[in-house]
Structure 1
Amino acid sequence: MARVVNFLKTIRNNWKKSLVGSAALAYGVNYSKDAYDTEQMMREFCVEAAKYGDIPIPPKVQPTHMTVILNPVAKKRKAKKLFEKYCEPLLHLAGIAITVIQTESESQARTLVANLNTRTDAIIVAGGDGTLSDVVTGLMRKCQSNVTYVKQCPIGVLPLGQVNRVADSLLKRKEDATDARALAEATMAIVRGNTRLLDTVEVSPIEKDPEDPVKPAYAVGAIEWGAWKDANSRVDKYWYWGSLRRYVTYVFNGRKDDLNWNCNGVIRYSDPCDGCSRCYQEQYSFSKTQAEKRWWHAFVPRINTAPRGSDNVDYSKVNNENCGIYKEVPIASTELHITTNNVLLNDEESEPGVKVELGPATVSYTDFIAEGCKRVGGKKSQGEHIIKAKNIELHPEKDDSFVSIINFHQLPKTMSFLI
């Protein structure tokens, strides 16, 4: 009893040291528990991956090979380390040979994929939504004349970026999931080989210049234009602020005139269409799309997935008089935000097309900072005006930035993703 009393007296007389020691002990216990849980999780996934790797390969089937496009500066320059720790071991255990190609500059993934000549069964994007858009753009440019190849080369997504809306939607990632679990689950989705078709969005100039042609860009998630987008692109400039750099970016840029505060112009758009004789042509397949068959499916059951709207409907007999009829709306906004149905985080069926959100016409300095801080936390205020559309023509006031944004809901413009 005397020892207990002396121990309590020591704590009381040295309460500052005791407080620091308690905090360090609590941190150590939590760290050890998280490390143990992660180890057990990886052990379970490794056992499952090894089952795929132990399946004999038929004599006439080549081993599975996948190409990884890795953005090493993603995830605060931890992307490569996280990939090698939580993703690469599972792929090797599953018997998948991989070739890792690291990007060295912004948008380089487009060129890497467009010039890819080696045989690959899939492309794995180890990065965020920006890297994913670059890979999709490169693949679509490479295979514009070969739609079948686009479907036969699915894309796997590893959520290693600052923004991972497409991956979160595809994999139904929980908000409280750790990075280790999210990466391991995404890797196992690639190993299992189930696929899902997603619509792509093409961005191309309205006026074509034969002498200086501009190749279209593609996306599967969202497209942003405006002040918040411009400010967010300058985050790396404030690297010396550490974890606060994303917040101070909006503080330091809220009054700068070089941000795009005026997203003014005219939008021409057509209403969404579920499918009719005008937008579905004879070459489109109306049968349910089957997930691509892998060699292990001869031994392991697979789950087939099909895109929304792939029912056996003869759209050549469906008449929609409003399909392709454009409406014209003038806009005056500080932001234009386009979101596809691919990044909806719920299971509710929604009509095909994209959602266009227009921000306020003017915004104060404090409101700009408040909205920026909200977006740092992964949230966004809903636009003041919302338009649902299929095809969009955007005519900004600036003559040098005419852009056509088209949502291709038709089957030949879809891409296969591993889920």
Structure 2
Amino acid sequence: MASPLHLLSLSRVIFLLATFFHFIAINSTSSSVQPFCHDKESSALMQFKQSFSIKKSASGDPSAYPKVASWKQPEGEGSNSSSSSDCCSWDGITCHGDTGHVIGLDLSNSRLYGSINSSSSLFHLVHLRRLNLADNDFNHSQIPPAVGLLSRLTHLNLSFSAFDGQIPLEISQLNKIVSLDLSENPLLKLQKPGLATLVQNLTDLKELHLSEVNISSVVPEFLAGFSSLTCLRLRDCGLHGAFPADIFKLPNLQFLNVAINPDLSGYFPEFHRRSPLKSLKLGITSFSGQLPNSIGNLDSLNYLDVQGPIPESVSQLVNIQMFHIAGNNLTGRVKLDVFTMTNLFDLALSYNRLTFLSSTNYTKTTLPTLYHLELASCNLTKFPDFLRYQDG
């Protein structure tokens, strides 16, 4: 028969276990419940929605649809008990799991049409971390300086959205930004402030997209010190001066595009095997010198658009998929070995005076299957032999 002391100890153990499992159950339940969004933020979102009309032509993406169409106005006090009126459940909205604050707004490809300014209720959403308004039509509005109020932003995408005028200095104060995309807004300009002033404090940048923005400046040397940078796209920006060669050596850079900047000069450095570069686009620039043989070290490269003489070492780029050297005015003989990478499907050689040296050893299994081929104005007198192995 168990002693009273033993029974007391057993009861205490059972009590402690019950308390422990009750604590676990409470915390598990509370952590799985998503808090409702805040009334002020819900109201701000509805005001933002109502400031625009829906226009099919406002978005270029064929899959675009008006995300705000599903948003429903709360009908009074306590209405947040309805999931349909809880803004955390609305299309394009992300809320913080603990606080319920709106931290993400993705209205890309939403067919929004209308103007936006600093009085917009958008800027009441001060907890936003991600804001994506890409592929809408903001009717030549300027980017509102009030964007600087969104000091927690880490991702800002306003691309393809018909913005106009000077990019506001306030963006330079968003020092938590890791991804900034203002590209494909050809009426935007970046002059006062210029490129250097805009990004000098954004030292955590991983992605910078400013293609087709009127920058008309040099590329600042200090960008070569942005060690987190994985993507730099400055195509068709009116860049001039010398491109800092050390940018090629950034340890995490995967995508570099400064094409269609005819006044941008520079040279190619030696490339090492540890380089993570996947895409290198430098066509229609004033880069000089020959592409070094070490280009063959770029094992991850799958897109190459350059100008100047092409070394045979490019045949070592086994992962290359797109290879563009169109418009280089190259002359001389080209061995077909250079273009036998099996993953290659897009080859552009137009506007070069080339003679192809083919081999009788090629078969359909040793040559790539091309889906896109440009040979315009190449001074050809006959089609290259390798075309016989293409399916058409």
TM-score (norm 1): 0.24
* Structure with greater contact order relative to length (CA < 8 Å, sep ≥ 6): 1
